[in-house]
Chains A and B, each alone.
Chain A
Amino acid sequence: MEATKLKKAILLNCMLLVSSLMFAHPLPSTKVNLKIKNELIYGIATMPVHELETATKRELDSNNLDLSFLREYFQKHIQASSPNQTWEVKINSIDSFKEDDGEQGGHHGVIEFLTIDFELSPSKGDLTEPFVFDFDAITHEVVTHDVEIFQISESNDDLEKKKLGEITLNIQSGVFDPVEIKLDGPIQKTQTIALKPVDESITDPKTISNKMLSYIGIGTFLVLGLFGIFRSRKK
C-alpha cells in the first residue's frame, strides 16, 4: 500500500515537473507540495539546482551535497507566519536528482533538481489557519524565479493536487508580494461514504459482518431443510 502511494507521489511529482518545464523556459520554477498529515504540514520543495546556485552564490555538488550548509540555508529561507500562532519549520531531508524530460515530450534535456523535505508545525495546531508562506530560497536573489505552491490531498487511493498560490515578482513594484496560503483540512474517511444508513448500528463493521453471517446461516439452514424434505418425500 505504501509502495503504491510512493509510486503515485513520484508520478505526481514528475507530472508537476513536466508542467513547470512547459511554462517556464529555460529553467522551471520551484514547486512546493504541501500535505496535511498527523497534525503537521509536510512539504516537498523541488527546485532547479542552477537557480539555487545563483541564489546561494556557490556551486552545489549534487554527488556530495553540503547538507549542513543547505539545512541552515533552507531553515532561514522557509518561513510561515499567521496572526494566531507561531510556526516552526523543520528540515527533514535534502536530496538531488536529474530529470530528462525528452521521453515525456519535453525539449529541455537533463536538468538537475534539488528536493527539500520539510515540516511546518503551528504552535496551536490549527493547520487550516491562513498563513503567509515565505519561501525565498531562490527569489531573494533571482528576481525572475517563481515558486508555485500546491496542496496534495489523498482521497481514497487517489492523490489530488490543488494550486494554492504563486510567489512571483510584481514587475511593476519590483517586489515579491506575500502569498497567503489556506490549506483544506484533511478529508475524513466517513465523508467518502456517499449514502448514510438510517440504522446507525449498521455502520459498525462488526455488526455488518455478524448480520451477514446470520443471513448466510439461515439461508444454508433453509436450503438444507428443503433438500431433506424433498428427499424424504421421494422415499
Chain B
Amino acid sequence: MRAIFKNLLFILVAMPILTLTSCKDDDEPCTESTWYQDSDGDGLGNPDVSVSACEQPDGYVSNDDDDDDTGSTGALDCTEYTGYDLVECLANSFLGTLSSSQLDEAQLTYSVSTAQEWSNLPVGNVPRPGIGLEDLSTTQLAAAKALLVAASGETENEGYDEMMQTLNADDYLNNVGGNGYGSGLYYLAILGTPSSSGTWEVMFGGHHYAFGNTYTDGELVAGTPSFRGIEPFGTFTWDGESNQPLNQEQEAFAALLQSFSDSELATAKLSGSWSDILGGPGEDDNFPSTYSGIKVSALSDSQKELVKTAIKTYVLDITDADAVLIYETYVDELDETYVAYSGTTGVETVGDYVRIDGPSVWIEYSVQNGIILSDPHPHSVWRDKGNDYGGN
C-alpha cells in the first residue's frame, strides 16, 4: 500500500515535469511578426495582405509602406554595360523597382522648365521634382544610388562621394536641431524616358546639392547647372566617417589666389562685396556681358595649372569619361578665361568670393553666414554658358 502510494506520488510529480520538458523540445520559443506581401518586388509591403510568422515568408517584407503593390518590373542586370549604356540601364533599372504610384512621382515628362526647378533652399521652402530618398525601400534606394554612382563618377571626394558627403551634412544638421534637413529629403527624378534616342535627364537634388545630367541620343550633352553647398563647412564626422565634400574646391581656389602677386591680386579683385553667387536658381542664361578679373593668359604656366585644378573639382562631379570632354573644352578656352575674387584669398571667411568665367565655363564659390551653425558655409555653382540643360 505504501509502495503504491509512493509510485503514485512519483507519477504525479514526474508527469508534469516530463510533459513540460517535452513541450520545450517541440516548441522553440518564437516571436511571431507580421509580414506584408510584396508582390511587385519593390521591397515595400502591401498593408492589406499580411501573415503572422516567425520567419519571413518568400514574397513578404516587414514593412507595410506600399500603397500600390503593382507595377514594378524589378531591377535590371546592368553588369554588362559601361559608359552611357550603363547610366541608361541603371536609370531603367531604378524605374523598374518602383510601383506605379511611385513611378508617377519619379518619372516626369522631360521639359526645361521642370529641369529648372532646382534650388539651394530647403525642400520645405522649394519642393523638388522626383521621389524622396526617404520614400524608397532598401532595394529601391540601392538602385537609385547605383544610378547616381554611374552618372556622377567615382573620383574620391568628387562626384558620388561628394554628393553623399553633402547628404551626410544634412543629416548632421538635422541631428543638431535643423528641422527640414536630412539625406531622406533629397529627390531623384528621371525626366523623359531613358533611351538612346531623344532627350532625358537624371535630376537629383535637395537642400545643398543640385545635379542634372542631360542626355540626348545616347550621349551626355550637359552636366550643368550643378549646385553644391555645405554646412557644416570644413571637415566633420558623421556616422564614424570623416566628411569634407567641398574642401578640395576651397583649397584649389585658395592655392590659386595665393599664387597671385600683389598686382595680379589687384587686377583680379572685384569691386564691392559678395554675399552670394550670381548664377543661383532662376538665373539661367544670365551672365555678365563683360569679363572681370585677371585673364588667365596673363598667368604663369604653374598658375594656369592651378586654374585647371580648380575647374577639375567641378567637372569631375560627373562621370569621368564625360568630364574629360567638357574639361578639354574649358582647357582649350583657358587663355580667354578670367579669374576674379572678392574678400580674402583664404576663401573660407564670410564674404569671400571667387569666380572662373570663360567663354563656356562659369564657376562661382561664395562663403556665407552659417544658417544652422555659427560657422560660415559656402555655396557654389558650376554652369556652362549656352549649354546648361544641354542648350535646350
Listed in ascending order, the chain A residues whose CB lies under 8 Å from chain B are 22-23, 25-27, 50-51, 54-55, 102, 105-109, 141-145, 169, 171-174
Contact = CB atoms under 8 A, between A and B. Distances in A.
B121 A22 contact: yes
Q: Which 4 A-B residue pairs are closest in the complex by CB-CB distance?
A: A143-B272, A144-B276, A107-B122, A172-B289
Interface in B250-304: 272-278, 283, 286-290, 292
Interface residues on B, range: 20 to 34
A27 B369 contact: yes
A107 B125 contact: yes
B286 A171 contact: yes
Contacts of B283: 171
B369 A50 contact: yes
Given A107-B125, A108-B371, A171-B283, A25 B272 contact: no
A50 B377 CA distance: 15
Given A172-B288, A172-B289, A174-B288, A109 B274 contact: no
B179 interface: yes
A215 to B, nearest CB: 59
B121 A142 contact: no
A65 B27 CA distance: 79
25 contacts: A22-B121, A26-B276, A26-B369, A27-B368, A50-B350, A50-B369, A54-B273, A54-B275, A54-B351, A102-B179, A107-B125, A107-B178, A107-B371, A109-B371, A141-B272, A141-B273, A142-B273, A143-B272, A144-B274, A144-B277, A144-B278, A145-B275, A171-B287, A173-B289, A174-B292
Nearest to B276: A144
B276 A22 contact: no
Interface string B340-362: 00000000001100000000000
Contacts of B181: 107
Contacts of A172: 286-289
B218 interface: no
Given A22-B121, A144-B278, A171-B286, 16 more contacts: A22-B125, A23-B121, A26-B368, A54-B275, A107-B124, A107-B181, A107-B371, A109-B372, A142-B275, A143-B273, A144-B274, A144-B275, A171-B287, A172-B288, A174-B290, A174-B292
Contacts of A108: 371
A143 to B, nearest CB: 4
A27 B351 CA distance: 12
Contacts of B272: 141-143
B127 interface: no
A22 B372 CA distance: 15
Given A141-B272, A142-B274, A25 B121 contact: yes
B173 to A, nearest CB: 9
B300 to A, nearest CB: 28
B171 to A, nearest CB: 15
Given A144-B278, A172-B288, A105 B124 contact: yes
Contacts of A174: 288, 290, 292
B180 interface: yes
B120 interface: yes
Contacts of A109: 371-372
